[in-house]
Structure 1
Amino acid sequence: MSKSNDLNILSFPWNGILPESAQIIVRDLDVVGVGALRQQQLLNIKAEREIILQTHSTFIPSSVRGIYDEELQRTLQWLTPSRVVAESKFNFEEEVLKTFTRIFPKTHHQLGVMSSKLCAEYLKEMEWSSWLLQDHWRYFSGFIRQKYLNKQTLIELVQWEWIHAWLEIQPFEVANGSSKQLVVNPSLQTLNLSHDNELIQRSSGLYTFVYNQELVKIVETKIDIYEAALLDLLMGDREYTEEQLLEMALLEKLSSPCTQDQWRKKIEVLLASNLIMHA
């Protein structure tokens, strides 16, 4: 493609800045099959600009080509681009490395001169088994854990950044809120920081991450042992009303028990944080 067109291609994760052109190019490698934050971003962009979808069908691994074709058709239905243009040139290694620096900006900076070496080693070990470039890095946190067993701060940084990247694209089915039954937000992810982490500027403790559909953003919340206990009670597709959850919470054997009113307030906090919701 020409240089001017290259400047109109949106990179994802997106930084929120649009080029001045009336036409915006997005790639199937970034948008096919996505949901959550990225889908809403695309719909918002579509309201302002004309979207052209650039496809790379001939480069998609044969193992996922059938699923890709199905997801491409679904994506075309909601994205409704003005044009679909097939791209004939594609440098996988170059593009997947660019994606890495956008997904793991702090990790990339922290690794410094080792970043290129580790990425090359990872790419050598991992077969591309998806059409989304972002998916290619889903095992990177485990890869780093194996390489740096004693560097917990780095390991937790990689996990933190990957959770944000994963939540950004997953197509979650959100409850309609018409039932009295409570359920855990389907997008819920957790990460326990073993100690204060200066790389992400967070203190030690248990953190939750959810995609908030109303706010159109990923929300992180630090929770205490009581809120964690309530989430545990609702895990595994278990559903309780608020009163039933309160009754179960009162049976919890914690070192510093909560009163009924305290438990009720904890439930209200989880609801307000969108960590739990009505089914």
Structure 2
Amino acid sequence: MSQTNDLYKLMFPWDEVLPASAEVIVRDVDVVGVGAIRKHQLLKLKAEREIILQTHTGFIPASVRAIYDEELQRTLQWLQPTRVIASKEFNFHDEVLKAFVRIFPKTHEQLGVMNSKLCAEYLKEMEWSSWLLQDHWRYFSGFIRQKFASKQTMVELVQWEWIRAWLEIQPFEMPPAGTKQLVVNPSLQTLKLSHDNDVIQRTEGLYTFVCNQESVKILERKIEICEAALLDLLNEDRAFSEERLLEMAMLEDIQPPLSKDDWRKKIEVLLGSSLILKT
């Protein structure tokens, strides 16, 4: 966080450490249109501090200005800031680089002296096509894959950090209740680590990430082949009853074969991990 005219300006992603100041500035380029964890953080912050929203309307790209205006009005309705102040100065290049360090802390550390050159190349190629600073880095993992095709551990580190950053802000639409169906959590993201990764201290394998609606936290879990098969089945038709899913699972070519009771237990594990939801 930084200090501006005796007011604290929160920077996101935020560690949820409350500033001493009774009033806190948050910026539209960090909060307009967000959902998931960041919206939850802002609502908690609102209960503890007076929020001032700083806007950068004159700097928003013309290509997204109409959508920004709509999302700004929606954000004002639920955020209800004490007041809104307009910024007359904004250095996009500097701010987006600061956002990079917050989004990719381990990547930044691993790249070391290459950070400046690589970020400069990426920013030169990318047009600012969103009002959110964080969104500007959504293609960075692909950019790094092109630059370091032979360094899979580095590529996967960038993907790991981006998935967590993406899940932190996305507004997810939850499935309708009362259908008695099993569905994949709409926030589900997956990443296969091809090697043990010492930087994130994770072993080779397939990992899942979801935003849990109750705890409002990102849950990460390494899954087994049979669990991945269940997720694939649900993704095909989007929804099954539990019995129908069990019937389909019994047809899967999994070695060694699982009994129906074993498959049922795997479904319960996925439900408990919020990877699938019962509507």
Task: Pick the TM interval, shorter chain.
Answer: over 0.9
Q: Is the 8 A contact 1:190 1:208 kept in 2?
A: yes
Give the Cα–Cα distance (whole angstroms) in 2 for the partners of residues 44 and 101 of structure 1.
Answer: 25
Name the structure 1 match of 2:90.
90
Name the structure 1 match of 2:143.
143
Name the structure 1 match of 2:259.
259
Name the structure 1 match of 2:217.
217
- Cα distance per residue 1:118-173 (max 9 Å; x no partner): 00111011110000000000000000000001000000000000000000000001
Instruction: Give the number of aligned pairs.
Output: 278
Name the structure 1 match of 2:228.
228
Q: Structure 2, unaligned stretches of length 5 or more?
A: none
Report the 3-state secondary structure (helix = DSSP H, G, I; strand = E; otherwise coil) of the residue aligned with 2:186.
coil
The aligned amino acid for 1:223 is I
Give the Cα–Cα distance (whole angstroms) in 1 for the partners of residues 153 and 3 of structure 2.
Answer: 40
Give the Cα–Cα distance (whole angstroms) in 2 for the partners of residues 81 and 218 of structure 1.
Answer: 27
Give the Cα–Cα distance (whole angstroms) in 1 for the partners of residues 264 and 223 of structure 2.
Answer: 15
Name the structure 1 match of 2:50.
50
Report the 3-state secondary structure (helix = DSSP H, G, I; strand = E; otherwise coil) of the residue aligned with 1:33.
coil
Name the structure 2 match of 1:276.
276
- Cα distance per residue 1:231-279 (max 9 Å; x no partner): 0000044311111101110011123211111101000000000000023
Q: Is the 8 A contact 2:33 2:75 kept in 1?
A: yes
The aligned amino acid for 1:11 is M
Give the Cα–Cα distance (whole angstroms) in 1 for the partners of residues 150 and 208 of structure 2.
Answer: 24
Report the 3-state secondary structure (helix = DSSP H, G, I; strand = E; otherwise coil) of the residue aligned with 1:75.
helix
TM-score when normalising by structure 2: 0.97
Name the structure 2 match of 1:9.
9
TM-score when normalising by structure 1: 0.97
The aligned amino acid for 1:47 is A
Give the Cα–Cα distance (whole angstroms) in 1 for the partners of residues 100 and 18 of structure 2.
Answer: 21
Name the structure 2 match of 1:37.
37
Range with bigger deviation, 14-23 or 125-134: 14-23
The aligned amino acid for 1:226 is C
Q: Is the 8 A contact 1:246 1:264 kept in 2?
A: yes
Give the Cα–Cα distance (whole angstroms) in 2 for the partners of residues 267 and 257 of structure 1.
Answer: 16
Q: Is the 8 A contact 1:176 1:278 kept in 2?
A: no
Write the mapping of 1:121-136 to structure 2, written as runs, cut at 5 A.
121-136=121-136
- Cα distance per residue 1:29-72 (max 9 Å; x no partner): 00000000000000000011100000000000000000000000
Q: Structure 1, unaligned stretches of length 5 or more?
A: none
Write the mapping of 1:175-190 to structure 2, written as runs, cut at 5 A.
175-190=175-190
Report the 3-state secondary structure (helix = DSSP H, G, I; strand = E; otherwise coil) of the residue aligned with 1:113.
helix
Q: Is the 8 A contact 1:153 1:199 kept in 2?
A: no
Name the structure 2 match of 1:25.
25
Q: Is the 8 A contact 1:35 1:169 kept in 2?
A: yes
Report the 3-state secondary structure (helix = DSSP H, G, I; strand = E; otherwise coil) of the residue aligned with 1:112.
helix
Range with bigger deviation, 250-259 or 96-105: 250-259
Q: CA deviation at 1:177?
A: 4.1
Structure 1 consecutive aligned stretches of length 4 or more whose deviation exceeds 4 Å: none
Name the structure 2 match of 1:78.
78
Give the Cα–Cα distance (whole angstroms) in 1 for the partners of residues 135 and 28 of structure 2.
Answer: 13
Report the 3-state secondary structure (helix = DSSP H, G, I; strand = E; otherwise coil) of the residue aligned with 2:8.
coil
Q: Is the 8 A contact 2:7 2:21 kept in 1?
A: no
Name the structure 2 match of 1:208.
208
The aligned amino acid for 2:103 is I
Q: CA deviation at 1:3?
A: 5.0
Q: CA deviation at 1:227?
A: 0.4
**RMSD (CA atoms):** 1.3
Q: Is the 8 A contact 1:32 1:71 kept in 2?
A: yes
Matched, 1:107 2:107: yes
Q: CA deviation at 1:7?
A: 5.7
Cα distance change, pair 7–140 in 1 and its aligned pair in 2 (3 A): farther
Q: Is the 8 A contact 2:7 2:24 kept in 1?
A: no
Q: Identity, % of aligned pairs?
A: 73
